[in-house]
Amino acid sequence: MPGLGGWSSPGSGTLEQTTEYEIFWGGDRGKGMVLEQSAAYSGAMRDAGNTPTTVIRGGLLFGKVTASGELEEWDADATDGTQELFGVLPIELRAQDFDANNVDRNAPVVVRAPLKASELLIQGSAFVGHVDEFLARRMLQAAGSILDDDPGGYLGGAGSRFALVTGTTDTLTTAENGTTIFYNNAASVTVTLPTIQAGLEYQLVRSGDEAFIVTSAEGDNVIVGNDLSADSVTYTTASEHLGAFVNVRGVYVGTTLKWHMTLPQIPFGTDGAGLTYAIGT
């Protein structure tokens, strides 16, 4: 584009905009569902997947720094406020001026919209396949956004889905996020969790009367009953497995991903005994 060369001679400057971004879907009618507001973007923001990282691409997810009120790239395991997803950048921004100084920018941020998942970025990497994808899906859906590859929000855990498994083994998938699953085989049942990711959650119910084992694929990352790094949980009380229940969530504990298992401590049977379980280490 036109600019000034050395000594104020006419010349060429650097390109201001490198790419056009279309992060919305639904055509003209879909545009009526876009809700945005003006925001201050911090000059410290970076797009780790771009070259240079100071050129911030449209589609990058942002959080708000609590101390400054400015937006920086969303970071799920941060503690400065940016761990809470605020919105999506719809245009390209530069974090620095031509003297390479960080400069805050005022620009729009999209807080609710029909969004194309394939055009979104988490800390500069593709949204789909990112370790924090499912947590981001939950947060975007909670704000009212609709992702084109999953309009019902099932991948983000919405929909209150139920399923029945009749086998003795089951390896969960990310596509089952948010599902309540009943296991009714009369023999011992082992459930293996998927590769851990924040935002995944399952409700697992035993509807057969034999051992019920819920185990981590990686091991040493389950928080349950006096253990912060267990491998598995096994309901052990003979003839009292019916109704055994495990709620499993993938969460960040500081910067470490953990499965948090919640087990109900409820009276059980005519003798008032409670469900008992063993922790695998």
The structure tokens listed for 60 are: 């990058």
The average confidence (pLDDT) of the chain is: 89
Mean pLDDT over residues 21-37, rounded? 89
Rounded to an integer, the average pLDDT of 72-96 is 97
pLDDT in tens, 118-176: 999 999 999 999 999 999 999 999 999 999 999 999 999 998 899 999 999 999 999 99
The CATH architecture to which 160-280 belongs is Sandwich (2.60)
pLDDT at 146: 97
Nearest to 257 by CA among 216, 225, 207, 226: 216
Residue type, 173: T
Q: What's the pLDDT at 279?
A: 81
Q: How many Å apart are CA 273 and CA 267, to the nearest integer?
A: 6
114: cis peptide before it, omega within 30°?
no
Residues 72, 170: Cα–Cα separation, whole Å: 40
Per-residue pLDDT at 11 exceeds 80 = no
**Distance between CA atoms of residues 244 and 242, nearest Å:** 6
Q: What is the DSSP track for 248-265?
A: EEEEEETTEEEEEEE---
* Domain ranges (residues) in the chain: 17-155, 160-280
Q: For residue 8, what pLDDT is reported?
A: 45
**Is pLDDT above 80 for 281?**
no
| Residue 179: alpha-carbon gap to chain centroid | 16
Rounded CA separation 18/40 (Å): 22
The reply to whether 160-280 shares the fold of 17-155 is no
Per-residue model confidence (pLDDT) at position 19:
65
Token pair of 172, please? 């969960």
Percent of the chain with pLDDT over 90: 75
Q: What is the mean pLDDT of residues 31-36?
A: 91
Check pLDDT > 80 for residue 223.
Answer: yes
Superfamily, domain 17-155:
Head decoration protein D (2.40.300.10)
Structure tokens at 270: 């005519």
pTM to 2 decimals?
0.88
pLDDT in tens, 78-88: 999 999 999 99
Contacts for 241 with CB less than 8 Å, ≥ 6 apart: 206, 208, 209, 210, 211, 212, 235
More confident site: 183 or 227: 183
Handedness of CA 149, 86, 124, 83 (dihedral sign): negative
